[in-house]
A and B are shown apart, each in its own frame.
Chain A
Amino acid sequence: MNLQGTHGSNGRFGRFGGRYVSEVLMQVLIELEEAFESYYPTVEFQRELGVLLKDYGGRPTPLYYAKNFSELIGCKVYLKREDLLCGGSHKLNNSLGQALLAEKMRKKRLITETAAGQHGISAAMAGNVLGLEVEIFMGIRDMERQESNVKRMRLLGARVTPVKTGSGNLKDAVSDTLREWATCTRTTHYLMGSTVGPHPFPEIVATFQSVIGKEIKEQIVEKEGKLPDAIVACGSGGSNAIGAFRPFIGEDEVRLYFVEGGGSSLDADNSAAAFVLGKPGILHGAAMMVMQDEQAQIKASKTRAVGLNYPARGPEISHLCETRRVESGYAFDHEVFEAVRVMCKTEGLLPALETAHALAYVLNHHDEFDQDSILVVNYSGRGDKDLETIAGYFYGN
């Protein structure tokens, strides 16, 4: 099974992936693929990216043995602390990489979309570092829900453009960013935020995020002398999960768990669990598992975790789950809030609502892991951005 690298396969992961876009975008995608293949492997690019990740981003992030949380679960749980990456989530790994690539390609401007605002912030940061203008498309409803992150992006000098089409969330923001890109491919790079979209985006984002998994591998061997028994990560498009999983995909003894947003229930219109409720379809330039209605129209997803509120799963995670290399699960909103409370209490850490899905899954499934098991949870982001929502849930507004 060839899972790493997609050269010559037109960006296919099994039956998923591909490049289903308007003719206007074809040429720039080919140009991007060629640029990525020629710059990324060079010593110079690796050195520049390495310095940025280390000195600006703060990598490597620690692998923390969460002793108190472990006692509760009944096995050893390590947290890969992507919340400590500058900006507060794993998103900067990809943004620095793509911004550097865009600069090499002599683009002047970055455009992107954001939901929770974490990717938008990382894009604004990376754009400033590399001297590129930044415009961020954000669903109008997400702008209300993640107001503090909107302020941060604006403070960093990014232009934040509200997206009013559709239901005003991530799906619509991606569509509008693709539309904007069609008008300005010659000067502008679309800094895709997750392992979604037309080829080569899923491959590029996965490559830049796999620094997470590479570090996990080194750190766990150093601490435990062996590979973990399981890795758990949350996701929708899948960038933090793929980043953590990639170096372990060929290690069959390491179980991989992907946790999506269950929403309030699995009933119609209340969930973001595309692996439960979706089927193969085409959205935003790729074949993916996607939630759709009987008229073949894409359905809006729903979850309190804005960053998981996307109705499709990226091509690679779609393929890994279809072939059962990765097991998919979900957590409901109320379980997620409970997981936030548990993490605050046991470890004094406030996780992002997205990250708390992975924690909730571990709490729900703790009896599947025996006492000697070593678990790594990709602790993808911190929860400061969700403070209002979380406080509102527990104490009322």
Chain B
Amino acid sequence: MEIDQKFLELKEKGEGAYMPHIYYGDPNEEFSLELVKTLVSNGADLIEFGIPFSDPIADGTTFIEACERALKTRMTPIQRIEGVRKLRRIGVEVPIVLTTYYNIPYTIGLQIFAKQVKEAGVQGLIIPDLPVEEATEFLEATKEFDLKMIFLVAPTTDDARLRKIVEIASGFLYVINMEGVTGTRESVVQSTLDLIKRVRDCTDLPLMAGFGISRKEHALAMLSAGVDGIITGSAITEIYSKNLHSPEMSLPDIAKFAGEMKQACVEGYNR
């Protein structure tokens, strides 16, 4: 399913979107497949599918460790992209947004990367260290593959750059909740609420809020402030990383967490 279609469908149903973020292969491939299945059957509307990188500068401790563990499996980035194909084969139909750091496509070759990603069944891309100013070459090389290019906006982004970003962004906008890196936090700050208002005023693209969301209250606050959905990442990894020898034992807790987040997306949307 395409990303635009998913947001339309949710709008009709009157629900906010929930997108969990995982790093594929943490701690092994079999678990990641089970994890995505669990997330989707418990309310995930989209999946953010992470290809790990050795130096994830936009990630906090939880995801740094997730990347380190995932990299121990020695899978190549291309093999991980194949994971999307496997998910499609086992019946995962929701839009998949692939996220990775720019060295991966840069080194593989921009076109080869985009082609592989598209053919595996990906709908959109997030490259956190590729700001709009540096994206021209990438967009040019990959435009034939019709992948949505999701850009990030932060509380520090000024209005001039905001306009530049919404001009070339597609799919949705990733609203960085706070100044910092990924990871769970205690509360939602005022600068985030201001940001949501500023972004809302200059685009009709759906807004997905991420970084620091780990509780139902966060999700409700974000939805009430006007975003179309929320992203959680580290919060899920924190659940299974307590039990890395048999991470599948954590799946019921993860199912419960995902269910609550989706529930918050529904409640928050209707407030």
Contact = CB atoms under 8 A, between A and B. Distances in A.
Contacts of B101: 282
A182 B102 contact: no
Contact of B106 (A24, A281, A294): A281
Contacts of A28: 156
B133 A19 contact: yes
Interface stretch (A79-87, A295-303, A328-336, A363-371): A295-303
Interface in A1-54: 10, 18-24, 26-28
Contacts of B68: 165-166
Given A20-B130, A22-B128, A178-B57, A295 B157 contact: no
A109 to B, nearest CB: 14
Given A23-B151, A24-B180, A165-B64, A281 B58 contact: no
B190 to A, nearest CB: 14
Given A23-B151, A175-B55, A282 B103 contact: yes
Nearest to B108: A296
Contacts, number: 119
Contact of B134 (A20, A24, A182, A290): A20
Contacts of A284: 55, 57
B181 interface: yes
Interface string B101-138: 11110111000000000000000000011110110000
B103 A166 contact: no
B161 A27 contact: yes
Contact of B129 (A21, A279, A295, A298): A21
B57 A298 contact: no
Contact of A296 (B103, B179, B180): B103
A37 B24 CA distance: 43
B154 A166 contact: no
A171 B101 CA distance: 16
A184 B191 CA distance: 13
Given A26-B133, A175-B55, A298-B55, 18 more contacts: A20-B131, A22-B131, A22-B154, A22-B176, A23-B157, A24-B180, A26-B154, A26-B156, A26-B161, A27-B156, A27-B158, A175-B57, A182-B181, A183-B180, A183-B181, A184-B179, A295-B74, A295-B76
